[in-house]
Structure 1
């Protein structure tokens, strides 16, 4: 069974088409790069796949279940979906909102209803893995760009989703942090996670992607 399926998906902002007849499927464990020029709809597609917006025409299925506004309004289903699907925004400032890094990392597991011991264990593991121990009591807005990116990644890591979606993951990072992030994404892939990421970076296409989904300036999608 395909993990992610889009069938003839269309979406528009104020009547202006952004996604037009998008059709593709992704299997569990694949690493797929979403490519195309700026304005082609890559970020819009990632938002749709994360249940933040919904197709105006066509349908989107996640693990065999159609994702609709009505379905996502069901608390039990929405909770299940967000445990399975993680989203790392291009700009960490959009994603980080808690008063400290440690609280940020704990937020998702708390919403999942995990025990206090399990939450603490996940947070401590993530703080260590992402090199955030000395920053755990800092407010996220006081961090550097690279530190914010690591905090955003760590906040998804503590939820341990099966699918990771990332919008331009290497954007605005220095070379050292980019190297670290590529290694981290490779480790996720080796662990069997499904990866879908928008990118203009050739190194991600060569080192990580099993295939590409190309969004054209006409907002249509094709396989490479």
Structure 2
């Protein structure tokens, strides 16, 4: 489903990914581990089509993902419905005036009817237990509430692939337990999960496979 073939990438001439090879099958839960600066977030951004290999190939569902490919509006729209991204810091993701507007934004971009958009928003609010936040501006929420809204905004898109950057960071114990249960439910529903983490509980409780990155920006698949 997802394949990196000899991928290299650099920021301002400084290598971040060096000859990276791995694949992710449909329905797998894959942990990306390694020290800060090893390239974990770079891999997630590339999986989401936000950056592209300078050398090598990244393929999704058999299609190479390139800047030219993502300039094709119909394909790009389809791709971003397939792959959802939960940023480490929800403030980087939330931008609408209210929670319900945030949840409706993605489905509206998909061209869904008002009725279907409303159904998805209501279902996500109920599933995450955030109905009381619907009229709140995201910037007024707590860290845990922002994380739930960010997840809900992806849930309304119903992607096949969920990518998460350090999903348990800055969460209290209750929120961490809830999120682990939520991710487990996604996996049981057949979703593909790719997440960066330093957390043993995610590794032990969720991951089928580990992509371990090192200070030399290389990877080992375990």
Q: TM-score band, normalised by the shorter chain?
A: over 0.9
Q: Residue in 1 aligned with 2:215? A: 217
Segments of structure 1 that go 5 or more residues without pairing to the other structure are none
Q: CA RMSD in A?
A: 0.4
Residue of structure 2 in register with 1:170 after alignment? 168
Number of aligned residues = 222
> What TM-score do you get using the length of structure 2 for normalisation?
0.99
Q: d(CA) in 2 for partners of 1:11 and 1:223?
A: 19
1:55 to 40, 53, 56: 53
1:110 partner SS: helix
Map Cα deviations across residues 5-53 of structure 1 (whole Å, 9 max, x no partner): 0000000001000001000001000000000001000001100110101
Q: 1:155: which partner in 2?
A: 153
Deviation at 1:160, TM superposition (A): 0.2
Task: Measure, in 2, the Cα distance between the counterparts of 1:63 and 1:145.
Answer: 34
TM-score normalised to structure 1 length: 0.99
Deviating runs (4+, > 6 A) in structure 1? none
Per the alignment, residue 98 of structure 1 pairs with 96
Cα-to-partner distance string for 1:165-215 (whole Å, 9 max, x where unaligned)? 000000000000000000000000000000000000000000000010001
Unmatched 5+ stretches in structure 2? none
The correspondence of residues 33-44 of structure 1 with structure 2, limited to 5 A, is 33-44=31-42
Report what 2:181 is aligned to: 183
* C-alpha separation in 1, matches of 2:111 and 2:29: 29
**1:5-154 aligned within 5 A:** 5-154=3-152
